[in-house]
Chain A
């Protein structure tokens, strides 16, 4: 090996260096400018970190696609990723680091409602646009909304509106819930209950509910508690590693053989479906912010096949959200014609851009994207994708499940 290196004639090596420099000089017009920098905050540690990994893959794919096609405003794009640790204070510190130390032009991410409620009130001080791609509490585009905060993903009210319709169709009348003991679990139950009551005033929302701590490992007492209550329907809003552990333990206790309907608001996450494979029970209603096989358009086809080819598994909703987040910034920066954070923030309001789950629009009134979830019943495991497919499957129209701005409590 070393022998070979030595035999390369000197002039050629010199040429390589010079020619490279010249070549760079010519192509430099596109790259000499500072790259567009997007700061992302996802959960990268602990048991839910698989969500962060999917998000990272989604962003990587989008950034590479955009750079290959010439970048944004002829500038390259790059992202800087920080770990939220699923803690609001850690995420706030991360956002400060990204803005003041990494000099990013815009922020995106957030995986938890609890984290989002802490971060969003601080965003106006950072003076950077923030596109939330996962956290679902309605408050951040409701009573906590502000000029800089946007969300492209399905929120709790959109998802539970759809869940209530599915629930009403099942005919079950006595409902209880099992969900994580923080903002997300409690709000999911509250919104679901309200919507279900609207559709069917006779329905009973049981007092007996189960809210295990987020990151809890033993769900047995909670599962037994719910089975003892003899409900007709159970809304499960657990997610991530919690949902995987819950389903495994619930399988052992015969939870899914009981005589009640089970709706999992985030059961259609491919993170969960891949982890479980055959252990994911069949015939259960699961919801998801995005299902890779639910959208027939060119963007989605290209996204799913590129993702499968590169990472070997179908994109999850978090991967899709992160991918779409980068493209939302591309559209906004091109619309603004600059990377000035204030200009990007203005451009995002009312912006429509193409995402794999269809064209999305950030409403001017509350900055929430008008988007609906996909719900379906778990069916056979697909050989191609390694997860249970959904059949029947229904994608809700964003216009039908998104509450009017006047009902959100947001005033901008």
Chain B
């Protein structure tokens, strides 16, 4: 019980720190923090499929990209309030996840990974080559940031305001995602990752549960993408590329996939390292590679995972 209280206290502290962050750091770090929150949500949504259900997807960026393009195109062509574009982003990426998931969940392990990679590259090619709609490799740019909607008077173009919008949306989404993982549905996913045959023997349609997990993960990735485009001011095919899917994998491994907040922590480490290291060298990927190699060799459960393991004596 005391450890639970401790964790609740720490969480409250983190939230308070995030809320007060703009008063304590230089203005530039508002952008860094915004990116961390969004990428954290993206990685956490990936972890529902990876850590919780035991499926390694290499196409998760497709849903992030779908969300980004949905938001960017709605803002560009229709100037819809942001809240509706976010809902639309969730809807379109959910539909895309349903279609891709329908095929992918039929396979396991490396075949599943390969098929998600293939679908991811298909979506990438469409975004990259359908110039008349997606503007090709330049992506959707120059869309206006209008209002948030719901009668709220928010200047979204102000980075500080946008940070708080992202903070609130990501915290709500993360809470929802956490509830999903703690629900009976979430426990079944956990069981599937540990022993799919046994779950099937219990009379549960294992494939259906995996599909639902895939769709829910796609939906949250779409929300992350929908938040990212207005921050980034571009929806580009790079966001759909498999290397962007790999970023979610890396962040999750860096933080630790066994804990819900692991991917968020991993996103923080990843983005901060990228920000700092690129100031000194253009070879940041090399440094990242060395860090990852050391992590996988010595801290398999990720940074946050290893620390929490110690604290909770697992």
Contact = CB atoms under 8 A, between A and B. Distances in A.
Contacts of B275: 97
Interface in A319-363: none
A83 B279 CA distance: 9
A45 B141 CA distance: 23
Contact of B138 (A121, A125, A144, A183): A183
A92 interface: yes
Contacts of B142: 117-118, 120-121, 144
Given A87-B238, A100-B27, A121 B137 contact: no
A72 B275 CA distance: 31
Among A144, A183, A214, max chain B CB count under 10 A is at A183
B282 interface: yes
A243 B27 CA distance: 41
B13 interface: no
A201 B27 CA distance: 56
A89 B28 contact: no
Nearest to B141: A118
B136 A101 contact: no
Given A83-B278, A117-B142, A89 B233 contact: yes
A45 B281 CA distance: 10
Contacts of A118: 138-139, 141-142, 233-234, 236
B138 A92 contact: no
Contact of A125 (B131, B139, B157, B238): B157
B26 interface: yes
Contacts of B233: 88-89, 92, 118, 121-122
B28 A100 contact: yes
A87 B141 CA distance: 12
A93 interface: yes
Contact of B234 (A89, A101, A186, A213): A89
Interface string B202-229: 0000000000000000000000000000
Nearest to A82: B278
Contacts of B234: 88-89, 92, 118
Interface in A58-107: 83, 87-89, 92-93, 96-97, 100-101
A114 B157 contact: no
Nearest to B282: A45
A181 B236 contact: no
A44 interface: yes
A89 B35 CA distance: 12
A311 interface: no
Interface in A105-131: 113-114, 117-118, 120-122, 125
Nearest to A144: B142
A385 interface: no
Interface residues of A, number: 27
B232 A89 contact: yes
B28 A97 contact: yes
A88 B141 contact: yes
B111 interface: no
B26 A214 contact: no
Contacts of A182: 136-138
B236 A213 contact: no
Contacts of B282: 44-45, 83
A125 B142 CA distance: 13
B238 A89 contact: yes
B31 A114 contact: no
Central interface residue in B31, B138, B139, by most chain A CB within 10 Å: B138
Contacts of A97: 28, 31, 275
Nearest to B239: A89
Contacts of B136: 181-182
Nearest to B274: A93
Interface string B117-159: 0000000000010010000111101100000000000000101
A186 B28 CA distance: 36
B141 A117 contact: yes
A113 B135 CA distance: 13
Contacts of B128: 213
Contact of A89 (B131, B137, B157, B236): B236
A117 B142 CA distance: 7
A144 B131 CA distance: 20
Contact of A96 (B31, B131, B157, B236): B31
Contact of A88 (B26, B27, B138, B157): B138
Nearest to B27: A100
Nearest to B142: A121
Contact of B236 (A87, A120, A214): A87
Contacts of B131: 181, 186
A101 B25 CA distance: 11
B236 A101 contact: no
A144 B138 CA distance: 15
Interface string B274-309: 010010001000000000000000000000000000
Interface in A34-71: 44-45
Contacts of B31: 93, 96-97, 100
A129 B275 CA distance: 24
27 contacts: A83-B278, A87-B238, A88-B138, A88-B141, A89-B232, A89-B233, A89-B234, A89-B236, A89-B238, A92-B232, A92-B234, A93-B31, A93-B232, A97-B31, A100-B31, A101-B27, A113-B138, A114-B138, A118-B139, A118-B141, A120-B142, A121-B141, A121-B233, A125-B159, A181-B131, A181-B137, A213-B137
A-B pairs with lowest CB-CB distance, top 3 = A101-B28, A100-B28, A114-B138
Given A125-B157, A182-B137, 20 more contacts: A44-B282, A87-B238, A88-B138, A88-B141, A88-B233, A89-B232, A92-B234, A93-B232, A100-B28, A101-B27, A113-B138, A117-B138, A118-B142, A121-B141, A121-B142, A144-B142, A181-B136, A182-B136, A182-B138, A213-B137
